[in-house]
């Protein structure tokens, strides 16, 4: 079959045997005999000139154009023809995706991962984003770079996770971050989520102390702390078990209601939901004893420069921890960290007075003003019952 000029025109469509053949191969080189325009001849596997219909010219430098989105240059006609045949096959098969061939590589892992990180930054706490999401995502970017996300499979993920020089618990955390990323990619780009390897691990136990020992440590903290708010923060962590250390350190003046509640916004909490925690009367009085600050100031803030910390910066995670460990050392208490010695020890002791369901409910979270009003309309909520029991235990009355 001899192709006519119309059939090999730059419409990116050619007809062969009644089958629509999308795409074509082009060259900017001219006919060596008359300097006329050369057009691709499918039958000859070369280029032809309309002025010399009996001749074919094996031009090498060419490019493939496939629809509006795919345009790729080649230094070999054979490679160009193979590439075009592959595109046509995928088009007929229904698996063709123009995004796979765009010059800006929109499906590159780094391109999509950086977009996801910016979105995720708005939905998780700053510490979680920096230590978990950004950390593991950047490690994956170093390995996969701009690898097409559609081609990243089980083997790639398994190789990456087990290349990390970490324990299985940390490896499982990295897996969770990547799975979250690929679930987002699946929704955004309509691609399947790859299979992930199974990672087994056992959680370690945190050492705890009795309430009596806990109170002795807190009293020692009060004695050795350089600032009274260090003692207060640790005391509150041991009482208000629904507040985590990171949330406590990031409390701003506006997050402590003068009428008696911690009001943690969704941007501050791990659950990304507004959390309202009622305060005991004695803690309200202690809070009021401190000079009030501007609403956006951190409550647990440095009043003077401290190493790399500037005046007004919130406490780092080490400020309360170091003071806690110093108090423990003074009292001969070993291997009890701040979280285990405050929240976990308190929860263990409360098992004598409350069911697990009741303790779980003590971390009640409300997200509207109406819920806030209903919550405080009651004379004594279950949360207050629990916090009062905690304080009685700390004072040796229970």
Write out pLDDT tens, residues 136-147. Answer: 999 999 999 999
CATH topology of domain 109-189: DNA polymerase; domain 1 (1.10.150)
Kindly state the tokens that stand for 245.
Answer: 């250390």
Write out pLDDT tens, residues 328-376. Answer: 999 999 999 998 899 888 887 776 666 666 656 554 333 434 433 433 3
Instruction: Tell me if the pTM is above 0.85.
Output: no
Domain ranges of the chain: 13-100, 109-189, 211-394
Pairwise CA distance, residues 113 & 115, whole Å: 5
Kindly state the tokens that stand for 143.
Answer: 């390995």
pLDDT for res 307 = 74
Listed residue (48, 71, 72, 75) closest to 61, CA to CA: 75
pLDDT for res 185 = 95
DSSP 8-state secondary structure symbol assigned to residue 91:
H
Pairwise CA distance, residues 125 & 102, whole Å: 35
Tell me the residue ranges of DSSP E strands in the chain.
13-16, 19-22, 24-26, 38-41, 46-49, 52-57, 62-66, 70-74, 256-257, 261-264, 275-278
Domain 211-394 CATH (choose: 1.25.40, 1.10.287, 1.10.443, 2.60.40) = 1.10.443
């Amino acid at each position: 079959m001899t192709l006519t000029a119309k059939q090999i025109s730059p419409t990116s469509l050619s007809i062969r045997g009644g089958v629509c053949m999308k795409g074509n191969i082009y060259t900017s080189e001219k006919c060596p005999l008359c300097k006329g325009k050369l057009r691709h001849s499918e039958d000859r596997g070369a280029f032809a000139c309309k002025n010399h219909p009996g001749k074919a010219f094996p031009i090498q430098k060419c490019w493939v154009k496939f629809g509006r989105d795919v345009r790729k240059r080649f230094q070999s006609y054979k490679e160009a023809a193979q590439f075009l045949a592959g595109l046509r096959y995928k088009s007929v098969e229904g698996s063709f995706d123009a995004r796979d061939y765009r010059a800006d590589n929109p499906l590159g892992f780094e391109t999509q991962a950086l977009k996801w990180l910016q979105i995720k930054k708005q939905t998780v706490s700053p510490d979680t984003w920096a230590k978990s999401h950004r950390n593991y995502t950047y490690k994956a970017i170093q390995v996969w770079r701009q690898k097409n996300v559609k081609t990243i499979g089980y083997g790639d993920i398994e190789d990456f996770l087990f290349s990390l020089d970490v324990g299985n618990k940390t490896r499982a955390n990295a897996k969770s971050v990547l799975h979250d990323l690929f679930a987002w990619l699946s929704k955004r780009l309509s691609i399947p989520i790859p299979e992930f390897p199974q990672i087994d691990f056992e959680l370690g136990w945190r050492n705890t102390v009795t309430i009596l020992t806990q109170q002795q440590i807190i009293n020692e903290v009060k004695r050795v702390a350089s600032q009274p708010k260090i003692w207060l923060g640790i005391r509150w962590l041991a009482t208000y078990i629904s507040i985590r250390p990171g949330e406590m350190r990031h409390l701003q003046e506006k997050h402590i209601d003068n009428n008696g509640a911690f009001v943690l916004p969704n941007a501050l909490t791990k659950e990304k939901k507004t959390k309202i925690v009622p305060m005991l009367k004695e803690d309200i009085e202690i809070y009021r004893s401190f000079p009030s600050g501007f609403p956006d100031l951190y409550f647990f803030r440095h009043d003077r420069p401290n190493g790399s910390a500037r005046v007004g910066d919130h406490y780092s995670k080490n400020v309360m921890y170091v003071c806690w460990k110093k108090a423990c050392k003074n009292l001969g208490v070993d291997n009890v960290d701040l979280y285990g010695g405050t929240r976990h020890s308190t929860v263990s002791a409360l098992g004598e007075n409350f069911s697990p369901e009741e303790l779980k409910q003590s971390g009640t979270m409300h997200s509207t003003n109406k819920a806030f009003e209903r919550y405080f309309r009651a004379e004594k909520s279950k949360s207050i019952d629990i916090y009062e029991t905690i304080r009685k235990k700390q004072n040796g009355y229970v």
